[in-house]
Amino acid sequence: MEIIVTDFATGQTIEELRASALLKSQSTQQSTQDTSRTEESHGGRSPLEALARMQYGTDQSIKSRLQQYFLENTKSSLRIRLFNFIIKVISCILYCVRVIQDSGKLPEHVKLDNASDIHYEKILWVGADEGLWLVQTIVAIISISETVLIFYLTYKGSIFRLLFNIHFLLELSTGAPLIFSIFVPIYRHFYVPIFLNCWLANSILDDMLHDFHRVSQVNHSALMRQMVGLLSVLTCLLFSGACGIEHLQRSGERQFDLFMSLYFVIVTMSTVGYGDLHPDWWMSRLYVIILICVAFCVLPSKIEALSQTWKEREKAGMDYTKGFARGEKHVVVTITHLDADFIADFLNEFYAHPKHAGYLIVLLSPSELDNRMKLLLKIPLWSHRVLYVRGSALKDDDLDRAQMAAARACFILSARYIQKKSDSDEQTILRSWAVKDFSPHVPQYVQVFRPETKMHIEHAETVICEDEFKYSLLANNCICPGISTFITLLMHTSRGEEGQKSTEPWHKVYGFHSGNEIYDVVAGDSRFFGDFVGRSFSYASFYAHEMYGVNLLGVKRSDPGEQITLNPGHHHIIQPTDRFYYVALTNEESLPSSKKSAMKILNQSGKHIAHRKLQMPSGGHDAEKHAKLKVWRKRRMMLKKSKGLQSDAENLIGDELQKPPEQSSRKSSVGVVTGEVDLSSSSDEECDVCGVEGCLSEKIVKTYPPISSYIGTSATVCHTMKTKRDYCCLQIDKPCQHDNFNNPGQYGWKNPAIIVAVDKTSSGLYNLILPLRAYYRPVHELQPIILLLELEDDKLPSATFLDVIAWFPMIYWMQGKISSLDNLLKAGICLAEHVIVCKEGAMATEEFLADCSTILTVQKIHRMFPKLRIITELTHASNMRFMQFDACDVYALQQGKFEKRERKRGSPMPYMFRLPFAQGGVFSANMLDRLLYQAIVKDYLVGFLKILLGIEQTPGSGYLAAIQITEDDMWIRTYGRLYQKLCASVGDIPIGIYRTKLMDCKTISIEVEAPTTSGSALAPNTSYPNAPGARSQQIISDLVKARMQTLGMPAGDYEHRQRERKTLSYVIINPPREMELENGDIIYVLRAPVKEDARNNRINPRRGLRRGQPKISDHANLLTAYPDDRSVSVNSVK
């Protein structure tokens, strides 16, 4: 039986399939052979090319091939023109050689007519060498042959066109007589004006510039072509004039050589006319007249074209070519609008790092330079470092002009003070894509406004989102007062010289510690932390601060995929490959070699002290105590000198810092940093705030928010509701069926509220919520958040926005304006502690008036609610001086003098001594620009600050918090003992102080005319003769209470009371261990990490300050850091 297998797809049998496959293979081989024969028959061209030529037709005649070679092909035509140009130049050179060899004798067949003073025979006949004539004839034959061939190829059917072509006529007049003399030898001495070939060479040069521009694929500027053309015409005029005058003067009484003729022509053309040389017969004089007329006709048009091109060139900037700065590294900055202040800030911050001293900045912008930018680029400091190229990053030609492919980095910045920030981000995305397409290997540092833009530029090396950092800083200001100023000073490059020439004591402390910056180092290679390998992180942080004055904050493992972790606590054991992040006045690499050895000795001595035996005599202990005090002083002086500060007798950090630790006979209760945490510091788990029933912790859960505001947000664990709240419960000024409350006071909040006034809803508000609802915040310390949105009438926020806030506890919104008193009262301003004003500047005739409405509104709120802490965002940093402005406050007005003084000294932050900024009450998003500029050197800085501010979270990382020092805590005495107490008890790390001081004669040194109280403190505003008195304050109080009664709110919630004494506040970054604590100080601390699944216990924020002697071992006493504590510990052990 025969089995037939059939393919169901084609319906063919196996034999048929095999046969068809064999036929296909044979046909394929045949087609390959036919293709090869076809390519051979068509001169190596592919069949597609041959088919295209057959379809469109081609002319294979000799003329067409010559046209393609001489005219159409750019490379071959350029070579032919270059050859022709060289021929013309050689003919001019041969003419000069003939003139130099000319002895003035006529040929033998020419007789000189002595009866006339003018010898016309010398004009028509010249003496020439036979060899020189032969070379000139050969050059003429080549030149005229090529000219005839070119005109034949370009012939269009009109012979009269050749008769009127100047180029052809000049070629005939300079070449045809020489060819004719071949057949008539007697005319070999006939004069031929070969020097006119220079004009032919000038014409060829113009054509060559155009061809060279096409062939080289290099964008040569029109200015260069104009300059070369003008120089060529001027050279032809001088050369033609010199050769013509020299030849015509052969018939005159006084003969000129070639050099004298050139001198005469130059003097005549420059309109000087010394008169020492002059033509002595009419033909020479006529030639000079013709030459001057030609110059007047030709040169003005060339000069005018050059001047216009020069003006356009100035507007377009220069091209950054490889030959401009060979071997020099450069960075390209692209920005849509050039602002002098913006560029000055970039230059100051970029060149503040020694690594950038050899870099060149190329500004690529489509905008023209205004007068301020022109003056800035003419400053000697920047004139040789900054180049301006006018163009767009979206055009490859402009990117090539800026040499983007060879750039070390590209900064894509957004202009300040713009209204439509979303449109600006869209342009930024396209610019980033264009740069990535043109130069994929160049790292990009991009600045955007909206967080949803980041998803489109993930390829960038670093992205700074203004809304992310801005809202996060404002939110953290409610948790840690003044932290916005702390972070701003920390990310600015400063040498700590600000305020050192001031007479104000707080200026010196505040300005000196502003020189602290964030640095990184590998633990195994560090002289600061190398000996702490194998110890806990808290142990290394405390002893590094105690010995070297550096503040260790974070660490990053060397394993792939690891992230920065802030204060991982006692459980983190240091490895040699760990990378540390610390705050200090200077980094280790900046210390001179002599100081490096000294720091190494200090490190070894600290290690020796840590491992010394317990049995030591008292005399040795005293000697060690004095040696330790010398180490403290020496360490501070070394850090000051390495920062570039002068070490004089003036105390920069107060008189109390000079005092050594006081001797104490009592037992130390600070504790010892042993690497183990004191677990007894946590408080009870029972909630005594909300009660057993209805506790807030039972309604929320720690998890990721179900809905994020934008794509690209980082995963952050927050306190979220177990059940999503209804939309009606979110609007605080309208009661609903779930919460029938008429005013905020009926909600019964235990913590003061935070009012956030914004002019529009944006996805960036999500970053304001995250730090305030982070999982590590104690549940019973969460503050209500009221969003006061300036929406149009009867317009609700988007459903997406309501979905986001509905999952967070105690977040409400209402429609209204912050300038309206009724809206503020409905939002619960009487129950609020913080008010955040974040409004994008409105359009104004003068750009600095964009903050006008915001400043006046904040001023009115401050007058009505003086105890309220207001945090304002301004568009212009210079407008900080108007915040809480008081024309009668003499001391506040005096700060303007210090600002002017710091600006003259070149300080990058002259406004830092303004009282609103120093106390953290005002912030400008433009200050975040510096963060991007430093990212090219400190690639870790952006990620570090994101974790610190709560924008991102890493497992096992600590968080930012604040502790207020009270009278009960003054037993700790100094910042170093506080550092030790926190590290030893709960593993917290302090990073700074927010200090508030009374404005008395001990705090300020400026003599004010206002009367003072008996306590030497400045009197309140009412004591000024011109300030609003008690009556005006009573009027304001009555107005507010009247509106509250009208709105149905209890007037007792309003309290209008001025501060009895004026105060000033400022931040101190990384204080020294010797600094004494003061009552009311707020300590910024990095809390030890809290587990995400930890129970919602009510944590005592002051658990690390509990007084008492923890249980310690004999081995732990070896780690006591202070001389007085060591003596007490040793005696107790004995």
CATH of domain 325-460: 3.40.50.720
Residue 315 has a pLDDT of 67
Q: What's the rounded mean pLDDT across residues 1030-1045?
A: 83
State yes or no: pLDDT of 111 exceeds 90.
no
State yes or no: pLDDT of 1116 exceeds 90.
no
- Each residue's pLDDT tens digit, 124-177: 888 777 888 888 888 888 888 888 787 777 766 666 666 677 777 888 888 888
Looking at per-residue pLDDT, the higher value among 391 and 884 belongs to: 391
Q: How confident is the model at residue 5 (pLDDT cuts 50, 70, 90)?
A: very low
State yes or no: pLDDT of 900 exceeds 90.
no
The amino acid at residue 774 is A
Q: How far apart are CA 1038 and CA 1032, in angstroms?
A: 10
- Each residue's pLDDT tens digit, 912-926: 888 889 999 898 888
Residue 656 has a pLDDT of 36
State yes or no: pLDDT of 871 exceeds 80.
yes
Residue 303 has a pLDDT of 85
Residue 1114 has a pLDDT of 35
- Each residue's pLDDT tens digit, 724-771: 888 888 888 888 887 778 778 888 888 899 999 998 888 889 999 999
CB atoms within 10 A of CB 351: 18
Looking at per-residue pLDDT, the higher value among 825 and 693 belongs to: 825
Lowest average pLDDT, out of 593-607, 779-793, 861-875, goes to 593-607
State yes or no: pLDDT of 336 exceeds 60.
yes
Residue 1077 has a pLDDT of 93
Looking at per-residue pLDDT, the higher value among 297 and 1017 belongs to: 297
Residue 464 has a pLDDT of 92
Range list of β-strands (E), 1004-1118: 1063-1069, 1082-1087
Q: How far apart are CA 396 and CA 169, in angstroms?
A: 44
Range list of β-strands (E), 180-292: none
Looking at per-residue pLDDT, the higher value among 595 and 267 belongs to: 267
Long-range contacts made by residues 656-660, C-beta under 8 angstroms, separation at least 24? 656/1074, 656/1075, 656/1076, 657/1072, 657/1074, 657/1075, 657/1076, 658/1074, 659/1074, 659/1076, 660/629, 660/1074
Residue 982 has a pLDDT of 92
Residue 1015 has a pLDDT of 39
Q: What's the rounded mean pLDDT across residues 265-280?
A: 77
Burial call 923-940: b when 16+ CB within 10 Å, e when fewer: bbbbbbbbbbbbbbebeb
State yes or no: pLDDT of 483 exceeds 90.
yes
720 phi/psi in degrees, rounded to 5:
-120, 155
Residue 16 has a pLDDT of 52
Q: How far apart are CA 1023 and CA 71, in angstroms?
A: 93
Identify which of 529, 630, 628 has the alpha carbon closest to the alpha carbon of residue 584.
Answer: 529
State yes or no: pLDDT of 474 exceeds 80.
yes
The amino acid at residue 457 is I
Identify which of 679, 577, 620, 667 has the alpha carbon closest to the alpha carbon of residue 987.
Answer: 679
Beta carbons of 343 and 373 less than 8 angstroms apart: yes
Beta carbons of 157 and 180 less than 8 angstroms apart: no
State yes or no: pLDDT of 558 exceeds 80.
yes
State yes or no: pLDDT of 907 exceeds 90.
no
Range list of β-strands (E), 766-914: 785-789, 811-815, 832-838, 869-874
Would residue 148 be called left, alpha or beta, if left means φ above 0 and alpha means ψ between -120 and 50 degrees? alpha
Lowest average pLDDT, out of 19-33, 198-212, 432-446, goes to 19-33
Q: What's the rounded mean pLDDT across residues 424-433?
A: 93
Q: How far apart are CA 501 and CA 510, in angstroms?
A: 13
Residue that has been written with the tokens 């009247």 in this structure: 1042
Residue 842 has a pLDDT of 55
CATH of domain 221-316: 1.10.287.70
Cα angle, residue 613 at apex, residues 1133 and 1118 outer, rounded to 5° = 60
- Each residue's pLDDT tens digit, 35-81: 455 444 444 455 555 555 555 445 567 777 777 777 666 677 778 88
Looking at per-residue pLDDT, the higher value among 318 and 340 belongs to: 340
162 phi/psi in degrees, rounded to 5:
-70, -35
Residue 835 has a pLDDT of 93
State yes or no: pLDDT of 537 exceeds 90.
yes
User: Going by C-beta distance under 8 Å and a sequence separation of 6 or more, which residues neighbour residue 601?
Assistant: none
User: Going by C-beta distance under 8 Å and a sequence separation of 6 or more, which residues neighbour residue 729?
Assistant: 736, 738, 739
Residue 855 has a pLDDT of 87
Whole-angstrom CA distances from 91 to 85, 256, 290 are 10, 21, 24
Identify which of 903, 932, 760 has the alpha carbon closest to the alpha carbon of residue 335.
Answer: 932
Q: What is the mean pLDDT of the chain?
A: 77
- Domain segments of the chain: what residues? 14-58, 69-195, 221-316, 325-460, 1025-1055
State yes or no: pLDDT of 383 exceeds 90.
no
Residue 248 has a pLDDT of 85
